[in-house]
Structure 1
Amino acid sequence: MPDPNQSGRATLGLMEPSQTWPAVVFDIGGVLTTSEGGVPELSRVIGVEPERFAGPYWEYRTDYDRGTLPTEYWPLVAAELGLTWSDEELERIDLFDARRWSDLAPGRTELLTALQTGGVTTALLSNAPSSMARVVKASGWSAGFDHRIFSCDLGLIKPDAKIYQAVEDTLGRPGEQLVFFDDRPPNIEAARERGWQAHLWTGPEACCEVLISLGLPTP
């Protein structure tokens, strides 16, 4: 499966990936960036209590991550809240939601730099709507990844086995040659069922311990 978002690491002057090293695959929200919920921040933006906002925000999120448009998702959320948003308000809310992924959390830059300059193949695998995917693709921190794989582009979401198969096809590697970090146990379990070396994310320090055990470069 071709990857239209391949970054072209050779143009960055990086080392060629070692054929003996596994590839390292990262989730984004709650792993590379801060907590993915965003409910408290967004509820303040629209003036709704977090407890009231959380229900509709997540109720329609699965289809949004599969690729439905912002103009389909946000009106459903608004209707559940008894609100009506103009096109301008919808765009502002959607952009605020997406921009939460524009910056890495502390310690992540050093981790990724060590892997990528060391010649390790790296990839992103995230359940993400189109708006968030665009923000990540435009962010400087994502340029070093060999592959950036988003649920909205495939019409598939974790923990569907087909999305892991798509990653294997894109990277040209079997599951046992993939190391994966995600913050959700169901996604980890599904990856392990395909033979991936999958680990629940608990922080950069624990991640480095795993990488060191595999002989991979770390900060």
Structure 2
Amino acid sequence: MKKLHLIKPWLSDRNLFRMEESNHKDMQEEGLSSREVEIFNALLRREIFPVYQIITDRFKKGVGFEILLRWNNNGKVLKPTEFMTDISSVEIWLKITALVIHAAVSGINKYNGKFYFSVNIPPQLASGNALPGMAKKATGMLLQPQWASKLVFEFAETIDVTKDKAIPETMQRLRNTGCRLFLDDCFSDHHVMFPVRQVHFDGFETGSRYCRTVCRQ
């Protein structure tokens, strides 16, 4: 159980996130918008919290959970589309992703690896060292090493791989940690031409709307 106590210090690791608590003026000098400052302060106050959406297989059996976020903003609970589209700061995305990964690790340990927990990959972290490094730290927090495959990262179909040639390498390094990589929201109305040969996936997920369409056909 000692590993569980290591998660919270990791979330507060200033070397990882490179962002310290500061006042409104200092943060705006760092290039954050007033909305981003508000969101960052909400993270510090733990007003932004994870919720769990069940994932089922074709037999409608629960196999995992997708971790989503909500923001309790002065008593009004906001969905991701109401605040996450306002974030461009990589530093804030790092802290948000760490929050979600922490929830995933806690869930995997709580259910003894019975279910997988998925984390959405922000486009801002799709390349570089941050995400593979966070995944490696996260697998070290699991009570059993073989549960690493229960930590799933979802790659949005809308991320344009052609705009950053480092993305395939980053995703492979992510998979090398033992975590799995899924292609999210396949066959959606907003999909892009995706070079599947450049990025290797361990699975994919489809939206409920697509599933209903297939069932009617």
User: Normalised by the size of structure 2, how large is the TM-score?
Assistant: 0.33
| Structure with greater helix share of residues | 1
User: Normalised by the size of structure 1, how large is the TM-score?
Assistant: 0.33
| Structure with greater strand share of residues | 2
